[in-house]
Structure 1
Amino acid sequence: MSQVLSTRCCIAGGGPAGMMLGLLLARAGVDVLVLEKHADFLRDFRGDTVHPSTLQVMHELGLLEKFLARPHEEVRELRAIVGDTELVLANFKHAHTRCRFIAMMPQWEFLDFLRDEAELFPGFHLMQNAEVTGILQHGDVVNGVQVLTPDGPLQVTADLVIGADGRHSAVRGAAGLVVRDLGAPIDVLWMRLPKMPGDPSITGGRISPGAFLVMIDRRTYWQCAYVIPKGGIDAVRARGLEAFRAELVKAAPLLANRMDALASWDDIKLLSVTVDRLERWYRPGLLCIGDAAHAMSPVGGVGINLAIQDAVAAANILAAALADTQLDAAALTPLLARVEKRRLFPARVIQAVQVAVQNRLLGPVLAARDVNTPMVVPWPLKLLGRSSWLQALPAYAVGVGVRPEHVRLPVAKKAS
């Protein structure tokens, strides 16, 4: 027989959206339980970019200095090498935020930090090794989740369930929420390559006919993303590992002396890119946020930061009602609609831009047949590369985004 637990708000998923929302709700005096299917956060995440919008949230929480004491690197410009021409595409020095840089921090450090801060409040609870497999419902109202743990099945009843369990969300699937696929013509291969003395300190893309490679400076290594056509992994593997290494070296000749770091295909991770969005983000008793509501392309690296913005908006709108334990799911439902209404516009705008970049830039680059033809720099990029003020526009789009959220919550008493 399943064990039963009860909480005011149950969050499925201990990623950035789930952990941030857990911290914000507990900070506002709400009893909240976060369920995370893994035993810890020590996994090889690829989304390690903490953008100025998220750093601004940390500042508003009074946690910025403490947060930046964790290991990180600071990226103040995003660059691109188009053919043989190097350009600055985004410069954060004009950003109207507390921090004018992107913090490159391993995501396990980020999540550990959120957990440590959340545990200072008595209402916060985190259960790991707890995989949400389905929902509980009474009539049309979701009132909990089904959980699988090493000790057996568990039922968690809650007045509100938050689906923050990612693009393959079990919560949204079990709830029957309709997903609209926006399409993605690309997949991405991720890998780490050593950084050598004399390497430039540049974070950005390298674009040439038939190839698009992103190199992120992680101080001791390069975090690399190589874009391939959608479903093209079998063709890449069929050409062989040596051929793939040669493709990387052609895209970035400075990598030639470190290809032995890619000893096998196990050193190369596939990210199957999906861009989708729920037709409706909620049901009575249930709200989805982050990738569970809108899976993002890796273009711009904005997915994590958009998820954080969802969490801040949800906390701003829901915290007072959740703190009032007399309010039931019916009273909360109009507030769930408000969260969706507030966050739908940013998600739609950003996804539209990502799809446009995928279709109009990445697709044609990958489809180029004559890979020996020199790459011509488009005139808008030439203009962008010459003006730091113009570079502030893409910096704002990537670093701050559409409708940034600000913390507007009271603070409950911390645990003694």
Structure 2
Amino acid sequence: MMDQPATSRTIDTQCVVAGSGPGGLMLGLLLARAGVDVTVVEKHADFLRDFRGDTVHPSTLDIIDQLGLLEELLKVPHTQAPRLHAEIGGRDVTIADFSRLPTKCRFIAFMPQWDFLDFLAREARKLPNFHIVMSAEVTDLIEDGGRIAGLVARTPDGSVEIRAPLVVGADGRNSVVRAKAGLEVESFGAPSDVLWMKLSHQPDDPPYTMGHGGPRQGFVMVDRGDYWQCGYVVRKGSFAEVKEKGIEAFREAVAAVSPLPADRVGEIRSWDEVHLLSIRIDRLKSWWRPGLLCIGDAAHAMSPIGGFGVNLAIQDAVAAANILSVPLREDRLADRYLAAVEKRRAFPTKATQKLQLMMQSSSKKRQESATKRSGPPSFVRGIARWPFLAHLTGRLVGLGIRSEKVNMAALKAR
């Protein structure tokens, strides 16, 4: 699946984006619609990877609507969640309510990320100045006179150089681009990891998309239609200990916190069906250097709970396109524009990470005093006590700290 022949030794473009996740593809689509020649490189041959952030937030749906693509997107199979729920002490509690959001779509769309990425790539491919190179792994950056001037990627047909006035690192929390650029990372740690697995979905299962239980672990469920994507939260770095106790002990632990029937966990037959997601929260001290910008998880890794990472990546992409599309198109990119993107997105990033760290601090204290106190984190208990707070969490989850709107004038002025 390749638009640009990888056998070309050199490709010249106006912007090369490393990574075809939600942020990278959204940026590529927006820049191409604004008249910028853009090339996206992706190290995998397709988008088919399990257990990725699969939430399309109301703010993202608004962006898709601005682009005139909402009707087509909602034809892609998905589950709509106007509220998120948790089980607390056997009682179903709404922890996030999107019904009062000032948006067209007052729900989160749970859609397999590969379907969402396929949709963005399909729409972007309709534009003659959008190019995507699959099976192209970034191996190095090209530097010229102190500026980043492109990247080098390894493909099945050999190495390819892609030269551009701007390289964008959208290649996730293990970003090669940010490492090769020597950008300094500030890490804030995380007390938990998540073990992902699949359990079958039966007609009489609970009608909610999230659940929590137990004094030490949480349990998250995402409705995929014919199966549940389940996340079991464990102490940071404890997966080896969990495995040492055996698969049967693990099934019993999951059954104890899952609202599904206990025999359902028998579907977890081996450790091959349990996938570790190592949670960490970090961000770059500077998101850019001359000729290079990082966005999304490459700039700021988030905890996966709540889907904040996907939402922030999309918002970063919109802000970057709004600020950079005209300078790129007119060949007058300057450092101040890259700094402006970071300045625009720094506050919502820091505020969201601060919120996640506060939530994790509450969880850590709860774990340390588990013999005296059980149940879900204090912020979840607070929402259960004061239901009106569910609208506030709905706004934070659905829109984020600062939502972005597409600069349609920049897309039309070509």
Normalised-by-shorter TM-score class: over 0.9
Residue of structure 1 in register with 2:57 after alignment: 51
Contact 1:91 1:388 in 2 (8 A): no
Give the C-alpha shift of residue 399 in structure 1.
0.7
Question: Is the CA contact 2:87–2:259 (under 8 Å) kept in the aligned structure 1?
Answer: no
Distance, in Å, in 2 between the alignment partners of 1:319 and 1:31 is: 10
Partner residue in 2 for 1:140: 146
Q: Which residue of 2 aligns with 1:295?
A: 301
Give the corresponding residue for 2:209: 203
Q: Partner amino acid for 1:411?
A: L
Instruction: Give identity over the alignment, percent.
Output: 50
Report deviation, 1:387: 5.9
Once the two structures are superposed, residues 192-228 of structure 1 have per-residue CA deviations (whole angstroms, 9 ceiling, x without a partner) of: 1001221111112212212211112222211111111
Corresponding position of 1:405? 404
Residue aligning to 1:249: 255
CA 1:376–1:237: 2 relative to 1, 3 Å? closer
How far apart are the structure 1 equivalents of 2:267 and 2:184?
42
CA distance in 2, matches of 1:68, 1:2: 37
The answer (yes or no) to whether the contact 2:218–2:376 under 8 Å persists in 1 is: no
**Structure 1 residue 384, shift from structure 2 partner:** 3.2
1:159 correspondence with 2:165: yes
Q: What does residue range 27-176 of structure 1 map to in structure 2 within 5 Å?
A: 27-176=33-182
User: Residue 376 of structure 1: CA displacement?
Assistant: 8.2
* Cα deviation code 1:285-338 (max 9, x no counterpart): 00000000000011322111110000000000000111113x2xxx42110000
The SS at the match of 2:300 is coil
Give, in whole Å, the separation in 2 of the partners of 1:294 and 1:345.
12
Taking a change above 3 Å as real, the CA distance of residues 368 and 46 of structure 1, as seen in their structure-2 partners, is farther
1:270-298 residue CA offsets vs partner (Å, 9 max, x unmatched)? 00111100000000000000000000011
After superposition, the C-alpha distances for 1:212-250 in whole angstroms (9 at most, x for unaligned) are 111122222111111111101010001110000000111
Secondary structure of residue in 2 paired with 1:93: coil
Equivalent position of 1:332 in the other structure: 334
CA contact (8 A) 1:195 1:220 kept: yes
Give the whole-Å Cα distance in 1 for the aligned partners of 2:405 and 2:101: 16
Question: 1:183 matched to which residue of 2?
Answer: 189
Structure 1 counterpart of 2:3: none
Q: Structure 1 residues 221, 364: CA separation in 2 closer, same or farther (over 3 Å shift)?
A: farther
Cα 1:262/1:353, change in 2 over 3 Å:
same
Does the 8 Å contact 1:179/1:278 carry over to 2?
yes
Q: Distance in 1 between matches of 2:11 and 2:269?
A: 47
Give, in whole Å, the separation in 2 of the partners of 1:90 and 1:113. Answer: 27
* Structure 1 counterpart of 2:121, one-letter code: R
Gaps of 5+ in 2: 1-6
Do the aligned partners of residues 386 and 364 (structure 1) sit closer, same or farther apart at CA in structure 2, a change above 3 Å counting?
A: closer
In the other structure, the counterpart of 2:267 is: 261
Q: Structure 2 length as normaliser, TM-score? A: 0.94
Q: Aligned pair 1:392/2:398, yes or no?
A: no
- Is residue 228 of structure 1 aligned with residue 234 of structure 2? yes
Q: 1:376 to 1:133 in 2, by over 3 A?
A: closer
Please give the secondary structure, in 2, of the residue aligned with 1:211: coil
In 1: Cα distance, 2:66 partner to 2:11 partner: 33
2:15 is equivalent to residue 15 of structure 1: no
Tell me: CA distance 1:381–1:133, structure 2 relative to 1, closer, same or farther (3 Å): closer
- Aligned-residue Cα RMSD (Å) equals 2.0
Distance 1:368 1:348 in 2: 28
The whole-number CA distance in structure 1 between the counterparts of 2:248 and 2:57 is: 36
TM-score, structure 1 length as denominator? 0.93
**Mapped pair 1:238 → 2:244:** yes
Aligned residues: 407
The CA deviation at 1:377 is: 8.6
Q: Is the 8 A contact 1:189 1:226 kept in 2?
A: yes
Q: CA deviation at 1:188?
A: 0.6
CA positional deviation for 1:86: 2.6
Report the Cα distance in structure 2 between the residues aligned to 1:351 and 1:383, rounded to whole angstroms: 20
Letter in 1 for 2:389: L
2:353 aligned partner, one-letter code: Q
In structure 1, give the amino acid aligned to 2:287. Answer: W
Check the 8 A contact 1:210/1:368 in 2, yes or no.
no
CA contact (8 A) 2:366 2:374 kept: no
